[in-house]
Chains A and B, each alone.
Chain A
Amino acid sequence: MHHEIHPSASPQIIELHNHVKDALISSFGDDITGSQIDYDFPVFVVAKNRIHDVLEFLKNNSDQSFQFLTTMCGVHYPEQVGQEFALVYQLHNMEKNWRVRIKTFMADKDLNVPTATDIWLGANWMERETFDFYGFRFQGHPDLRRILNMDEMNYHPLRKEYALEDAGRDDKQDKYFGR
């Protein structure tokens, strides 16, 4: 299991990280494939088929109580073969002020993910936005349509293969900036 702790992490964050990690591993075992602390955030990587269970567990388990879904978004890593897409959830336990980040990776061939709308009503538009940008198919979502872009659009614009500017333009390449 990949395990890394950022040097700036405070003892409280390390303690929180261990608290959540122990609970997750005792309930989900090998489906928790990684954990680390990024700056002030404990991060856990979860196998895609268990993501819904993990989110539900973190919300409903009385020792965890991450009742609040702060935000979620997708990320595209075209170089990571077999794990091209990531989904990132950020949860918040407001009573104790604990925050965690839950990630799951998947291959671009299979972007089906269980929806979190049955756990949080607010996940509805967040998932629609993520679908709009990256094309994740949230299984069980009540209304999975594009939200910010128009319905006729036939691609998912935040994927890395879509350049922001005209692809024929070559005056803004990194090599001209010393990179």
Chain B
Amino acid sequence: MKGTSGNIGQTFATASQVTEQKDYSILNLGPTHPATHGIFQNILTMDGEIIVKAEPTIGYIHRAFEKLAEHRPYNQITPITDRLNYCSSPINNMGWHMTVEKLIGCEIPKRAQYMRVIIMELSRIADHIVCDTVIAVDTGAMTGFLYLFQWREKIYEIFEEMCGARLTTNIGRIGGMEREFNEKAWSRIHAFMKEFPKALTEFDKLVTRNRIFMDRTINCGAISAEKALAYSFTGPNLRAAGVDYDVRVMTPYSSYEEFDFIIPVGTNGDTYDRYMVRMEEMWQSMRIIEQAIKNMPDGAFHADVPEFYLPAKEDVYSKMEALIYQFKIVMGETDVPKGEVYHAVEGGNGELGFYLISDGGRTPYRLHMRRPCFIYYQAYPSMIEGGMLSDAILTMSSMNVIAGELDA
């Protein structure tokens, strides 16, 4: 059987082939190990350098989001979604807003949709920067990480101009955006669009065809398309295995059908392919943002849904209706239709879905979040067993397991 080592063709014993007389050692990888990039534990049974068995334990930062959501009015759930995949919070925020908008039947203006696309694609770039540079770090290439990571900082500066927050953004509202992008935000977006391609090209040249990097990542932690589908993989990890499933294309939301972009797919589903898919997705995200800026429609930045969309502060102080709506929204008193909706967005890690059951009350009756990380991380033991410990670290970073989304 072909092993999952970086050395192509080299074979390793699988768990069943190792004789029971051997002395196995138990290795605790985590819960707080710098190489796991998050709080989760793997108890590894090791035969020397080779992993015989892996047993993941998760839940270290479980915060019972699904229970919390049953006790909060709809607009107060957005900050919870921030803390799912915190590397791309805005995508989670938008996914939640769109779920509620679907429930209440609210169509938001084109301009707000395009603004959301810009924000979501910037987040995707930030998310992929984290993942790809960390893969490089785990192969020993610190330089690329340092070069590219400052661009994540620039994206956070853009978010800061848009909404005042950086990491847990709570950006946008049910019914649109909370404000226009200001001058400074636009100039930062333009500066990013101009400068980032140079940085990404530089990183690409440093890492992608690097002999050591390729030896370490090719054939490391591979998964076939059939198995990835059986494990309900989505996002870049599924696409790296060769399945071209992307929610943005298959079930377009927020006007994604109006943009011209390519869904990159890999062939082997190994660490190198996952890295490459994310690299190309960053370029495609740049294309999408470019088109969104070029074709940005005029109009309002939010829909006319006073029952859900907070009025402007000066109106609250001077107008009767605005004051009433402000009160109703803040106290969570708005009537919501009864019904069940499912809405999915393409998050940094795949299909992020919200299954919302409303009984007409001020809080959801039930909110289930389909968290891509939680679902694909269960394949991790089968991807690393029979391989080397150092490959297990790489496989984990290339799957982009984010503890917040894993544990919810």
Contact B331 A178 (CB under 8 A): yes
Instruction: Find B102's partner among A39, A99, A157, A158 (CB 8 Å cutoff).
Output: A39
Knowing A120-B230, A122-B230, A164-B70, the reply to whether A147 touches B340 (Cβ < 8 A) is no
Contact A97 B333 (CB under 8 A): no
Q: How far, in Å, is A149 (CB) from chain B's closest CB? A: 6
Complex CA gap A99/B251 in Å reads 11
Q: How far, in Å, is B43 (CB) from chain A's closest CB? A: 14
Contact A39 B339 (CB under 8 A): yes
Q: Which residues of B contact A41 (CB under 8 A)?
A: 340-342
Knowing A147-B58, A177-B332, the reply to whether A129 touches B231 (Cβ < 8 A) is no
Q: Which residues of A contact B230 (CB under 8 A)?
A: 120-122
1/0 per position for B314-358, CB-CB distance to A under 8 A?
000000000000000001110000011110100000010101010
Contact B102 A148 (CB under 8 A): no
Contact B368 A73 (CB under 8 A): yes
Give the number of chain B interface residues (Cβ < 8 Å).
48
Chain B CB within 8 A of A28 CB: no
What are 10 inter-chain pairs, A to B, with CB distance below 8 A? A70-B351, A71-B368, A71-B370, A75-B357, A121-B227, A122-B230, A147-B58, A148-B408, A164-B70, A177-B362
Instruction: Find B331's partner among A73, A124, A147, A177 (CB 8 Å cutoff).
Output: A177
Q: How far, in Å, is B353 (CB) from chain A's closest CB? A: 6
Q: How far, in Å, is B21 (CB) from chain A's closest CB? A: 27
Contact A120 B232 (CB under 8 A): yes
Q: Which residues of B contact A150 (CB under 8 A)?
A: 59
1/0 per position for A122-142, CB-CB distance to B under 8 A?
101110010001000000000
Knowing A39-B102, A121-B231, A122-B375, the reply to whether A177 touches B333 (Cβ < 8 A) is yes
Complex CA gap A176/B375 in Å reads 40
Complex CA gap A177/B230 in Å reads 46
1/0 per position for A63-81, CB-CB distance to B under 8 A?
0000111110101100000
Complex CA gap A177/B376 in Å reads 41
Contact A94 B250 (CB under 8 A): yes
Chain B CB within 8 A of A15 CB: no
Chain B CB within 8 A of A101 CB: yes
Knowing A73-B368, A157-B67, the reply to whether A126 touches B375 (Cβ < 8 A) is yes
Q: Which residues of A contact B340 (CB under 8 A)?
A: 38-39, 41, 43, 101
Contact B355 A122 (CB under 8 A): no
Contact A70 B67 (CB under 8 A): no
1/0 per position for A144-179, CB-CB distance to B under 8 A?
001111100000011000001100000000100111
Chain A CB within 8 A of B297 CB: no
Minimal Cβ-Cβ distance residue in A for B230: A121
Chain A CB within 8 A of B37 CB: no
Instruction: Find B374's partner among A70, A125, A174 (CB 8 Å cutoff).
Output: A125
Contact A6 B59 (CB under 8 A): no
Contact A164 B68 (CB under 8 A): yes
Chain A CB within 8 A of B130 CB: no
Chain B CB within 8 A of A88 CB: yes
Give 9 closest A-B pairs by Cβ, nearest first.
A122-B232, A73-B368, A71-B370, A148-B59, A125-B378, A148-B62, A122-B231, A121-B230, A38-B340
Q: Which residues of B contact A90 (CB under 8 A)?
A: 342, 353, 355, 370
Contact A179 B370 (CB under 8 A): no
Contact A97 B378 (CB under 8 A): no
Complex CA gap A39/B341 in Å reads 6
Knowing A90-B342, A133-B66, A157-B67, the reply to whether A73 touches B232 (Cβ < 8 A) is no
Contact A68 B232 (CB under 8 A): yes
Contact A125 B375 (CB under 8 A): yes
Q: How far, in Å, is A7 (CB) from chain B's closest CB? A: 9
Chain A CB within 8 A of B305 CB: no
Q: Which residues of B contact A62 (CB under 8 A)?
A: none
Q: How far, in Å, is B372 (CB) from chain A's closest CB? A: 10
Contact A70 B332 (CB under 8 A): no
Contact A179 B361 (CB under 8 A): yes
Q: How far, in Å, is A41 (CB) from chain B's closest CB? A: 6
Q: How far, in Å, is A33 (CB) from chain B's closest CB? A: 17
